[in-house]
Amino acid sequence: MTFERGFAQSEYEDRVARAQAMMRDAQMDAMLFMTEREFTYFAGFQSNFWQSPTRPWFLILPADGDLIAVVPSIGENALSLSWVKTLHIWASPNPQDEGISLLAHTLQSLPRRFGQIGVPMGPETHVRMPANDFVQLQTALAPLTLCDATDIVRSLRMVKSEAEIAKHKYVAGLVCDAYDNMDQIARAGLSERQILKAYQLDVLARGADTVPYIVSTAGQDGSDDAIRFPNDRPLVAGDVLFIDTGAEVDGYYCDFDRNFAIERASDATRRAYDLVYRANDAGIAAVRPGVRACDVWQAMADVLAEGGAEAGGVGRMGHGIGLHNTEWPSLMATDETVLQEGMILAIEPGFDFAPGKMMLHEENVVVRSDGAELTTRRAARDIPIL
Amino acid sequence: MTFERGFAQSEYEDRVARAQAMMRDAQMDAMLFMTEREFTYFAGFQSNFWQSPTRPWFLILPADGDLIAVVPSIGENALSLSWVKTLHIWASPNPQDEGISLLAHTLQSLPRRFGQIGVPMGPETHVRMPANDFVQLQTALAPLTLCDATDIVRSLRMVKSEAEIAKHKYVAGLVCDAYDNMDQIARAGLSERQILKAYQLDVLARGADTVPYIVSTAGQDGSDDAIRFPNDRPLVAGDVLFIDTGAEVDGYYCDFDRNFAIERASDATRRAYDLVYRANDAGIAAVRPGVRACDVWQAMADVLAEGGAEAGGVGRMGHGIGLHNTEWPSLMATDETVLQEGMILAIEPGFDFAPGKMMLHEENVVVRSDGAELTTRRAARDIPIL
């Protein structure tokens, strides 16, 4: 499987055009972005420099016309390589005025129709600038006011183009290969930490750009936790090893897990694996356009309930995937988001089958007109023994 | 060189005690944290789960007594393994009330003396929760108000213990080894992207837990950029390859770069390398307790000026290092932070020696009573030829 880096410029033009149509409906003169994913999504700009918390970056999408970047001096050259042609630069660091007056001036200079600037301020977003500066910005912008742009960004980013799906599929495929190689990596006597290190190197060597989300936890009959850091206890026969992977290529993620038994699996482990596998089947079968996120959740919850289980402490049984390992929507009882063609979802039923023993099983799918297209190779029907 | 994971509990107790003394002076009843680094610093809690933007996490340090965590259900087990003994849990995701009422209730239940809760809201910080929820929290907290806790966190985190310094030294050492191995990795005919991938794997195989900040850029006579993503052009003789590395072990970073010439170096390249090397010497020599960040900057700027150069678009010539690859303070003309023993600094002079050609050279040091202790092996005196 091959994949091409970047996107045709038409992809960005399309994103911008659809955003601008929604902005006019929502009565915004512009949207203001400041996080890595929005720079990636709209500007096609990528840099590891987001790791440094020192300097904010600002991207403006006016209701009409082209993107405008307001960025620190260190970013001038790198951003000029993107399709964004209007750059305003300030000499940074400057904690006394870290781009605020330049940003306010730029926003105030835009054509004014509604007097509102959209900023993502809702679920799964955050403002990437100091809170004091955000207050100062709002003061400097008056009489312009800020309003919430989460719905626009969410509805755009939830539905992926074929070019976006291709990147997701590529990274999902190479992680499938890495999981298939687990018998070369994990065995009794090695610790969670040793296994995680070898697996991290394997995923990156296979072509993932980064693997920011990676978990390796094990416990007798079942792992005890889906998110904790690995420890140094050597694995022993009967342990279940849980590996979860949010790997990324060219900005796009996969996010799915696998379970492995070390040397042998108990009946309780096998039963839990079977039940969660069937719940996953039911979730995958329930996916189609027009169905709600909560309906997919219900299909999985029903299978678990028939098996005498209820959903565990993870709080949901799946979620969107894209520029983050987890994105909107959530597959849970209260999320009524209607599925659309082109959404990428993690189908992730799980439950605690005994105190401190969880079983969580995840696949990735794309919503297609006729149902779910698996983008991961379905896990083994019985828990693999290493 | 060896290193031990984690810290003695006394290390955390000491951090908390010093924070609480400063909180009383600043008239705060508690501090509220929500970012990965503060959970790491005060709670000793680490997880890759910070990659998921879905759920906020909250950590409360009361003016008296022990830490209190208010975290989503998925984090209950993992956090219970830390030294934080008081956990309040909400069923998450719950976008309608994503921990806000539980957090507000918990803060309101604390002993009230000053009526203020400190939150880091100043330079190099951000609030990791949706902006709408932050407003809602402030409303729910009334009559309690929020005040800025940046100065406390900054002054604590800027000065490192010997146990923290040991982690930094370990990762700096293994990156030095990786740089020494560059002749096995980079050569004419390979692209920036191919070199970056091989180097990423090398640093991780040598024992870095992660390498979130990694740059590989090249250009004829000199690289054109310090932060852009790598491209696919094959390197040719006369190119200068710039590699920068923010690698991490057990939460702690190194951050330093190296320059390499491919097959040959022009006189202009050699002169630029020599000048920036001497500027770095001057910066290292200027470091001692009681000197200000701007004084170290001036020492480097003087050498560059004598060489006919001025500092480039990076905006500063060094910075703190610790739980981020870049932290307070900034080595620049306007930063009057007084250096103290135990600070870890990147000494990073740089300049543009021709249009589109930069020379940037970075070492890491610890501020000791008698001056700078290098934690990186000093770069080669002349630019290495690969």
Based on the domain organization, do B111 and B250 belong to the same domain?
no
Is position B380 within any domain?
no
CATH code of A358's domain: 3.90.230.10
> CB–CB of B213 and A48 under 8 A?
yes
Parts of chain B with a pLDDT under 70: 1, 311-313
Based on the domain organization, do A286 and A146 belong to the same domain?
no
Give the chain B residue nearest A91 (alpha carbons).
B315
Give the range of the structural domain holding residue A17, as residue numbers without chain letter.
9-157
Of B108, B127, B156, the residue at which a domain comes to its end is B156
Q: How far A7 CA lies from chain B's nearest CA (Å)?
A: 15
Which of A45, A89, A98, A124 has the most B C-beta neighbours within 10 Å, making it the best mutation to test the interface with B? A124
Joined tokens for residue A45: 């700009």
Q: Residue A3: which pLDDT band, with cuts at 50, 70 and 90? A: confident
CA distance to B104, B199, B248, B249, B385, per residue, from B203 (Å): 43, 6, 10, 11, 21
Split into its structural domains, chain A has a count of 2
| A148 chain-B contacts, CB cut-off 8 A | 132
Question: Quick one: pLDDT at residue A231?
Answer: 96
Q: How far B45 CA lies from chain A's nearest CA (Å)?
A: 9
Based on the domain organization, do A244 and A256 belong to the same domain?
yes
Smallest Cβ–Cβ distance between B53 and the set A93, A224, A324 belongs to A324
Joined tokens for residue B128: 């990791």
Of B156, B176, B199, the residue at which a domain comes to its end is B156
Which of A54, A196, A249 has the most B C-beta neighbours within 10 Å, making it the best mutation to test the interface with B? A54
pLDDT digits (tens, 9 = 90+) for B331-363: 999 999 999 999 999 999 999 999 999 999 999
Establish whether this prediction's ipTM goes over 0.90. yes
Question: Quick one: pLDDT at residue B189?
Answer: 98
Is position A386 within any domain?
no
Is position A208 within any domain?
yes
Based on the domain organization, do B360 and B245 belong to the same domain?
yes
Based on the domain organization, do B246 and B364 belong to the same domain?
yes
Based on the domain organization, do A228 and A302 belong to the same domain?
yes
> What's the CA gap between A366 and B44, in Å, rounded?
38
Based on the domain organization, do B238 and B134 belong to the same domain?
no
CB neighbours of B300 closer than 8 A, spacing ≥ 6? Answer: B279, B280, B282, B283, B286, B311, B317, B318, B331, B347, B349
pLDDT digits (tens, 9 = 90+) for A137-153: 999 999 999 999 999 99
| Mean pLDDT computed over every residue of chain A | 96
Based on the domain organization, do B120 and B255 belong to the same domain?
no
Based on the domain organization, do B147 and B166 belong to the same domain?
no
pLDDT digits (tens, 9 = 90+) for A201-244: 999 999 999 999 999 999 999 999 999 999 999 999 999 999 99
Based on the domain organization, do B189 and B47 belong to the same domain?
no
- Is there a contact between B348 and B319 (Cβ–Cβ < 8 Å)? yes
* Neighbour tally for A295: CB within 10 Å: 18
Is position A18 within any domain?
yes
Half-sphere exposure of B66 (CA within 13 A, CB side): 10
Based on the domain organization, do A335 and A257 belong to the same domain?
yes
Question: Quick one: pLDDT at residue B315?
Answer: 85
Q: How far B64 CA lies from chain A's nearest CA (Å)?
A: 26
pLDDT digits (tens, 9 = 90+) for A62-98: 999 999 999 999 999 999 999 999 999 999 999 999 9
Is position A33 within any domain?
yes
pLDDT digits (tens, 9 = 90+) for A308-340: 997 666 789 999 999 999 999 999 999 999 999
Is position B3 within any domain?
no
* pLDDT of A196 higher than 80: yes
Of B156, B175, B195, the residue at which a domain comes to its end is B156
Number of residues written out for chain A = 386
| B248 chain-A contacts, CB cut-off 8 A | none
- Phi and psi based region of residue B291 (left: phi greater than 0; alpha: psi -120 to 50; beta: remaining): beta
> CB–CB of A325 and B213 under 8 A?
no
> CB–CB of B123 and A95 under 8 A?
yes
Is position A379 within any domain?
no
CA distance to A230, B46, B49, per residue, from A198 (Å): 13, 20, 20
CATH code of B21's domain: 3.40.350.10
Is position B381 within any domain?
no
Residue B25 class from Cβ within 10 Å (0-12 exposed, 13-18 middle, 19+ buried)?
exposed
In the chain, the amino acid numbered B346 is A
Based on the domain organization, do B216 and B135 belong to the same domain?
no
Question: Quick one: pLDDT at residue A1?
Answer: 59
Question: Quick one: pLDDT at residue A314?
Answer: 74
